[in-house]
Amino acid sequence: MLIMSTENNSELLFKNSVKILTDLISFKTISGEDNNSLIDYCDEKLIKLGATSFRTFDEHGKRVNLFATLKAKNSSNKKPIILSGHTDVVPVSKGWATDPFTATIKEDKLYGRGSCDMKGFIACTLAFAPIYSRSNLDRDIHFSFTFDEETACQGAPILIEELKKRNIKNGICIIGEPTNMKIIDAHKGCYEYTTYFKGLAGHSSAPHKGVSAVEYASRYVNKLIELREKLKERSPQDSIFDPPYSTLSIGGVFGGIAHNVIADKCHVNWETRPVVKEDAIFLNQELDTYANEVLLPEMKKVFSNASIEKEIIGEIIGFDREEKSEACELISSLTGDNSRQVVSFGTEAGLFQEIGISTVVCGPGSIEQAHKIDEFIVLDELKKCLKLLEGIKEKSISN
């Protein structure tokens, strides 16, 4: 009987993770697109290993979340572990040196859209899954693969609802976003909105007979800027973020067709990044009151069908630092890294945290390469991630 050395095994494991990452990159799962074939690919691999799984969908069944479980073989009081990643990638722009959907290895890097953000992590978990399935696990290991994280976390909330129904609310979740395997334990929220103004068109020579959507939108923007100053004043004393307060930004104002025409339509894209949930509530309340009690009555005086409608593009809740985080401590005990950092990007972490799951953001690759032309992951990062997954196995078998 041939017994392979551990070294060989880890080399095989690494090669397999590269192979799986290559496959995953070939699925063009740009946010908003159909991701069923990638999910089928992941599901099949896990089912073959004896996992059970369920899927949750968007309203058209076009985009899908997968949640698969390798059940514990021995009972213990250990919390289940959730390995979580998003399956979507951001669109590609021109200028790539290689085909973004064909993984290409050059020297110590693997290039391709999603290589670091974040199919690298998913590939590692799938490569490691056979080892989990062969082990005498004394806790469940879950695999959570969501859709459309990049567009304001549209997929994860649908999955979270299902987890609540199935009473999967007590676990440790590792979100493998690219952090160079560092421990991230907090980030601000990210709330995006578009507000639509509908007025009444008319000739510019008689402004009193029309309702200029552009002018009302401008006043709305002014209100937003005024509220931005209030958010600064509300900055928590012990804020861990930079800047320490909730921010607000106007991304665009679109409206009007000509100098001499009163614009009947205008819309404003804006976003806020709250350091605490209460800031987002405060901001929206102040803003909605202003729109409904000041602007809208004025508009309706001239045109009864005038309207102001605020569309929620996405509300990614913040990820709050916890005094004692089981998830962070687990990673620290495995990697020896005791540092805790915050990041400026949003993740699905707050959604898991909100239902009581101890959560940490930690994964292979660097955010520096995410969303960019020639995105890559340093191959060594995959090895580090596989090592972490090995550590999790050690912590998930009975002695």
Q: Give the residues lining the site for Zn ion (CB under 5 A).
A: 117-118, 177
- Total Cβ atoms within 10 A of residue 374: 17
Closer to Zn ion by CB, 177 or 279: give it.
177
Query: The tokens of 344 are what?
Result: 């400026």
Closer to Zn ion by CB, 175 or 357: give it.
175
Query: The tokens of 98 are what?
Result: 């290689």
Closer to Zn ion by CB, 21 or 217: give it.
21
| Strands 376-378 and 109-111, bridge-based pairing | antiparallel
Closer to Zn ion by CB, 30 or 266: give it.
30
Closer to Zn ion by CB, 70 or 156: give it.
156
Closer to Zn ion by CB, 87 or 212: give it.
87
DSSP secondary structure letters along 45-84: HHHHTT-EEEEEE-TTSSSEEEEEEE--SS--SPPPEEEE
Least CB distance to Zn ion at residue 118 (A)? 5
Closer to Zn ion by CB, 51 or 118: give it.
118
- Conformation bin of residue 195: beta by default, left when phi > 0, alpha when psi is -120 to 50: beta
Distance CA 24, CA 42 (A): 9
Q: Judge whether 88 counts as a catalytic residue.
A: yes
Catalytic residue among 34, 43, 88, 117: 88
The distance from CA 179 to its chain's CA centroid, rounded to whole angstroms, is 14
Least CB distance to Zn ion at residue 186 (A)? 16
Least CB distance to Zn ion at residue 252 (A)? 24
Least CB distance to Zn ion at residue 328 (A)? 19
Distances (CA, A) of 138 to 69, 73, 77, 250: 13, 6, 8, 50
Least CB distance to Zn ion at residue 364 (A)? 12
Write a three-state SS string for 171-229.
CEEEECCCCCCCCEEEECCEEEEEEEEECECEECCCHHHCECHHHHHHHHHHHHHHHHH
**143: amino acid identity, one letter:** F
**How would you label 69-89 residue by residue, b for 16+ Cβ within 10 Å and e otherwise?**
bbebeeeeebbbbbbbbbbbb
| Strands 81-86 and 172-175, bridge-based pairing | parallel
Closer to Zn ion by CB, 84 or 212: give it.
84
Distance CA 81, CA 320 (A): 20
Distance CA 64, CA 22 (A): 21
Least CB distance to Zn ion at residue 345 (A)? 8
Distances (CA, A) of 256 to 18, 113, 219, 269: 51, 37, 15, 15
Q: Which residues contact 48 (CB under 8 A, 6 or more apart)?
A: none
Least CB distance to Zn ion at residue 119 (A)? 10
Biggest CA pair distance of the chain: 93
Least CB distance to Zn ion at residue 149 (A)? 6
Catalytic residue among 43, 148, 149, 348: 149
Residue nearest to Zn ion (CB): 117
- Total Cβ atoms within 10 A of residue 192: 20
- Total Cβ atoms within 10 A of residue 294: 13
Q: Judge whether 229 counts as a catalytic residue.
A: no
- Annotated active-site positions, please? 88, 149
